[in-house]
Structure 1
Amino acid sequence: MFVGHAAFAFGAVALAARHAGASRERALALAVAAGLFAAVPDVDMAYALVGLAAADPTSPMAVASSFWGASTVVHRAVTHSVVVAVPAAAAFALAPTHRRVAAGALAALVAVAGVTSGPLAAVIVALFVAGGWLVARFAHATDVRGRALFAVALFGLASHPFGDLFTGEPPRLLYPLDAAVFDGRVALSADPTLHLLGAFGVELAAVWLGVAAAVWLAGDRLAAHVNWRATGGAAYALAALVVPPPTLDASYQFVFSVVAVGFVGTVPTPRLGERSLALPSPATAAVTGLAAVTVAGAAYAVAYTAGLP
C-alpha cells in the first residue's frame, strides 16, 4: 500500500477541496501536501534495510524475504497511530512559523517513544518527525499554512494506518496506549489468494482515485489517456498457469509480474504514414499502464476462480 496511501490522500483531499470551492491550483497544493504526509508513516520501513545485510544477493526471493522479515520489527507501530497523528500534525502545522514550539512538541514524541518502546522506536519516531518537518516546510512554501496545513497533515497521517488493515499485522492505532482496536487483519475472503487479490484491488482503487483526481485537476478527461494497449493486460490470465497462487506470505512473483504489465503504457506507437514512432505523453503512459495492470489483475482473478491452474 505504499503508493496507495499517498494516492488516496491526494485524491480525497483534491476532490474535497474542489467541492468546497477551492481553485484547481489551491486544491492541487492541498492534495500534494496531504499525499506527502500520508507517505511519512512508512519511514519505519527504513529499518527493513537491516535485513538486506544478511540476505543472499544472488537470490531475489531471499532478499525480498529478508527485507520484509526485518520490516515487521517496527513497521505499523509507532508511526501508524492516530493518537500520535494528532499532536504530530499540530506540531508540523506550527513548524514553519513557530519552530521552537514545534521542535519541543516533536522532541517530546521522540522521548515518549523511547521511554515506552526503547531506543529503536525513538529512532523511528525521529525519522518520522524529520520527514513530517520537511513536508511541512514544502507545504508552507506552496501557501498551505495554518489550519489548512494542520488539516491535510492530520488527514494524511491518520488515514494511512487504515489502508494497512488488509495486509500483514494490523497497525497499532492507539499507540502508545496498550489497547488494540483490531486483533488481526481484516479478511476479504477465507481463501488466502482471493484475499490477496482483494487487497490488490483495494490498492488499485486508491491509486485510481489519485490518478483520476490529478487528471481532473489538470482540466482533462481520464478516458482521453487510455490507450487500446491496456486491453493486452487480459493476457495475464495465462499467468495462472505458471505463477503460484499468491498469498500475503508469498506474493512477490505475482506482484512484480503484474505490475510489470504496466510498462505497456510506455510503448511507442507508429505514426500513420511515417516511419517514426510516437512516444505517449506521461499522463497517457501512466493511465494506460494503470489500466493494463487493472485488467491483468482482474484477468488473473477470473482465471483463478475458474480453476484454470
Structure 2
Amino acid sequence: MFVGHALLAFAVAALVAERRGWNGRRALLVGAVAGAFAAVPDIDVAYALVGLADWRLLGGSLGAPAAFWDASRAVHRSATHSLVVGVVAAPAFALFVVRDSSRARIARLVGGGLLAGLVALALVVDGPLSGFVMALFAASGVLVAAVAARRTSLSPAAVALAALWGLWSHPWGDLVTGSPPEWLYPLESSLLASRVVLHADPTLHLLGAFAIELATIWLALAAVCRLTDRSPLALVDRRAGAGVAYGLVALAATPPTLAVSYHFVFSILVVGALCGVSCGVPSTTALRADGGRSVPIPAASPLLERALTAVGAVTVALLAYATVYTFVAPL
C-alpha cells in the first residue's frame, strides 16, 4: 500500500487542479507534490529496520518479512498518520516554500517551531521512540517542501493544500490491510477502530484489497494520460493478455492471506513486469475520434506504455486468479 497512498493523492490532486483550470504541466506538478507528501507518514516504518537488524544478528526463527513487520508495529500508523498532526504539519511544511528573501527566514523559523512542537508532543506523550519517528516525519516533509520550492513555481498556499491533502488522504488506505491508524493522535478516538473486512474468506479479502490498490494505480495512470492528451487503453500492449495464465497458480500455490501474501504479491508483480518489459513501443502516433475526424494522439514514452501494459497484465492476472480460486479450485 506504500505506493497506493502516493498515487491516490497524486491522481486526485492533479485532476482537481486541471478541473480548476490549471494547465497539464502545473496540474501534474501539484499532483506530484501531493503524492510525495502522502508518502511521508510511512517514514515511521524506518524503525522496522531494527527488526531486520535483530533478525540478522540474533539469527531468530522469524523470517525477514515477519521480523520487519513485527518491529514496525511499535510505532507504525500512530503519530505520523494523525489528522490532527497533519493539519499542523501541512502549513508548517509550506512555510519552507516561501521564496521572498525578506520573509523566508521568519517563515522557516515559524515552520520549524511548529514542527519542533510536534516532535516535543510525541516525545512527551509516547516517549523517545515516538519523538524520533516524528522527527523523521518532520525532516522528510521539509525535504519535500524544499524540493518543491527549488523545482516548481508553486505558491506556499498551493503546497500547503497539496501537503494537507497528501497527509489526510494517507490513513484511509490502511483500513483494509492492517490495523487502523490513530486518527486523532494524541487524542483518543473510536473512529473506525477496526479493520474493514471486504470478505469473510481471508483470500478473497486480500484479493479485494489488492484490487483497490490496483484501481488506485489505474487512476494515477489515467490522470497522467488525460493531462498529456493520451488514451490509456490504446497504449496497453496485447501482451498484457498473457496474464490470464496466472489463474493456474490458484490451483498450485497456497492461497494467500494478509498474514502470508508475499508469494502472491511478488509473483503477480513479476508477471506484470515481464509483460511490460517485453512490449513494443509504437513508432507512430495513434489516432482517436474527435468530432467525426481522426486526430493524432501524442506518442507515448516507452516508460508510460510499459507501465500501462504491466498494470494491464496484473489486472488480467488478478481477474484470472480470482475466477479460478472462486469457481474452479473448490471443485
Shorter-normalised TM-score: what interval? over 0.9
Q: Is the 8 A contact 1:215 1:221 kept in 2?
A: yes
CA deviation after TM superposition for structure 1 residue 96, in Å: 2.7
CA deviation after TM superposition for structure 1 residue 269, in Å: 4.9
User: Does residue 267 in structure 1 map to residue 267 in structure 2?
Assistant: no
Matches within 5 A, 1:136-147: 136-141=145-150, 142-147=152-157
CA deviation after TM superposition for structure 1 residue 242, in Å: 2.1
Greater shift after overlay, 58-67 or 13-22?
58-67
CA distance in 2, matches of 1:72, 1:261: 31
Matches within 5 A, 1:71-90: 71-90=72-91
Where 1:190 maps in the other structure, the secondary structure is: coil
CA distance in 2, matches of 1:167, 1:268: 32
CA distance in 2, matches of 1:49, 1:115: 24
Change (3 A) 1:269 1:140: closer
* Deviation by residue 1:244-289 (Cα, 9 ceiling, x = unmatched): 1111111111111111111111015599xxxxxxxx8111111100
Aligned pair partner of 2:259 in 238, 249, 272: 249
**Aligned partner of 1:22: which letter?**
W
Greater shift after overlay, 185-194 or 104-113?
185-194
What stretches of structure 2 of length at least 5 have no aligned partner? 99-106, 283-300
Where 2:222 maps in the other structure, the secondary structure is: helix
Structure-2-length-normalised TM-score: 0.87
Q: Is the 8 A contact 1:139 1:145 kept in 2?
A: no
User: Does residue 202 in structure 1 map to residue 203 in structure 2?
Assistant: no
User: Does residue 215 in structure 1 map to residue 216 in structure 2?
Assistant: no
Q: Is the 8 A contact 1:56 1:62 kept in 2?
A: no
Aligned to 1:184: 194
Change (3 A) 1:219 1:250: same
**Count of residues in Structure 1 that have an aligned counterpart in Structure 2:** 302
Where 1:249 maps in the other structure, the secondary structure is: coil
What stretches of structure 1 of length at least 5 have no aligned partner? 272-279
Q: Which has the larger radius of gyration?
A: 2
Where 1:95 maps in the other structure, the secondary structure is: helix
Dislocated runs of 4+, deviation >6 Å: 57-61
Aligned pair partner of 1:289 in 293, 310, 318: 310
What percentage of aligned pairs have identical amino acids? 50
* Deviation by residue 1:121-152 (Cα, 9 ceiling, x = unmatched): 00101010011001111222301222211110
Structure-1-length-normalised TM-score: 0.93
Aligned pair partner of 1:100 in 87, 98, 109: 109
Q: Is the 8 A contact 1:47 1:70 kept in 2?
A: yes
Aligned pair partner of 2:136 in 100, 103, 127: 127
CA distance in 2, matches of 1:140, 1:80: 24
**Aligned partner of 1:217: which letter?**
L
CA deviation after TM superposition for structure 1 residue 204, in Å: 0.5
Aligned to 1:275: none
